[in-house]
């Protein structure tokens, strides 16, 4: 029996950027337009299992992505996290947060208070084409 | 009226390491012995507000701390997060996670399922003196 890890499939998800070592995907989350992930291609569990050079490559991608999300989505705060309890394959969550979102000021993993501002959410969804373009160009340069 | 940020007080908390730029504290969380934070001393909101050099210093501390926590606490998984929705002053949470802890496999910010293994928790609490020593020595070298 082989153990299948969903993040080992390098073709899965809405991929915006793909390199030999990692990929950037746009997450499909109704409450969090602009939520992106950076996923390491190799099946590695912890950041301190990577070499220092690989960690630097990974974090450079995280900060390049954060800069693009901030520029386009103009969040109140960025949330950045590497958890992996369910899928122990290194990936970073980058989540633009707003005072009117479904969980603010709690982390998105807390219970939703459910009173997100729908008009603000729609306005943010409309920014997604621009976010895609900005991420793709930032990583190309 | 001045706006007071609790993380601007560089003397607060159970400080294990203190440098000109950052400090490492041991968090007092009954469910999560070994939970530590790295706090940037200056009041800065986002990682991409720091210079590349400062980000490197910050992340190097995060990984040095992760290595110490893993070595002593032997977690099933490390959780690493920079959120700051309530206190927008850069700090990283480093949380050793175990399959028998109060929230596993969910993030610690989700609702607790409440069936943590008390004996395992006690055993982990007993490791805290060793964790303190290891963190202090790792940062001194």
Other residues' Cβ atoms within 10 Å of the Cβ of residue A86: 10
Q: Is B129 on the interface with A (CB under 8 A)?
A: no
Report CA A133 to chain centroid distance, whole Å: 15
Q: What is the pLDDT of residues B51-98, one digit of tens each?
A: 999 999 999 999 999 999 999 999 999 999 999 999 999 999 999 999
Which has more pLDDT, A115 or A76?
A76
Q: Is B113 on the interface with A (CB under 8 A)?
A: no
Does residue B1 surpass a pLDDT of 70?
no
Minimal CA separation from A60 to chain B, in Å: 9
Q: At what angle do helices B128-140 and B52-73 cross, to 10 degrees?
A: 140
Mutate to test the interface with B, among A46, A48, A70 (most CBs of B within 10 A): A48
Q: At what angle do helices B52-73 and A52-73 cross, to 10 degrees?
A: 120
Least CB–CB distance from B83: residue in A56, A82, A107: A107
Does residue A41 surpass a pLDDT of 90?
yes
Q: Is A79 on the interface with B (CB under 8 A)?
A: yes
Query: Cβ of A80 and B85 within 8 Å?
Result: no
Closest A-chain CA to B65: A48
Query: Cβ of B107 and A107 within 8 Å?
Result: yes
Does residue A18 surpass a pLDDT of 80?
yes
- At A1 the pLDDT is 43
Residue B32 vs residues A83, A115, A117, A120, B56: alpha-carbon distances, Å: 15, 31, 34, 36, 27
* Percent of chain A whose predicted confidence (pLDDT) is above 90: 90
Does residue A100 surpass a pLDDT of 90?
yes
Count of residues for chain B? 141
Residue A98 three-state SS: coil
- At A99 the pLDDT is 96
Q: What is the pLDDT of residues A43-72, one digit of tens each?
A: 999 999 999 999 999 999 999 999 999 999
Least CB–CB distance from B109: residue in A82, A84, A106: A106
Question: Taking all residues of chain A, what is their mean pLDDT, rounded to a whole number?
Answer: 95
- At B141 the pLDDT is 81
Residue B80 three-state SS: strand
Minimal CA separation from A53 to chain B, in Å: 12
Minimal CA separation from A96 to chain B, in Å: 10
Segment A120-131 shows an average pLDDT of: 97
Question: Taking all residues of chain B, what is their mean pLDDT, rounded to a whole number?
Answer: 95
Residue B94 vs residues A116, B68, B119: alpha-carbon distances, Å: 29, 11, 22
| Sign of the alpha-carbon dihedral angle for B95, A66, B63, B42 | negative
């Amino acid at each position: 029996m082989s153990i299948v890890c969903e993040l080992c499939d390098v073709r899965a998800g809405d991929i915006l950027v793909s390199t030999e070592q990692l990929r950037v995907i746009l997450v499909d989350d109704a409450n969090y337009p602009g939520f992106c992930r950076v996923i390491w291609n190799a099946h590695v569990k912890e950041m301190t299992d990577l070499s220092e050079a690989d960690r630097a490559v990974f974090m450079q991608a995280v900060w390049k992505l954060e800069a693009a999300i901030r520029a386009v989505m103009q969040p109140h705060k960025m949330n950045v996290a590497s958890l992996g309890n369910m899928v122990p394959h290194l990936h970073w969550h980058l989540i633009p947060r707003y005072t009117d979102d479904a969980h603010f000021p709690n982390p998105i993993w807390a219970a939703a208070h459910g009173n997100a501002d729908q008009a603000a959410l729609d306005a943010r969804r409309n920014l997604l084409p621009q976010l895609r373009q900005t991420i793709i160009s930032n990583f190309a340069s």
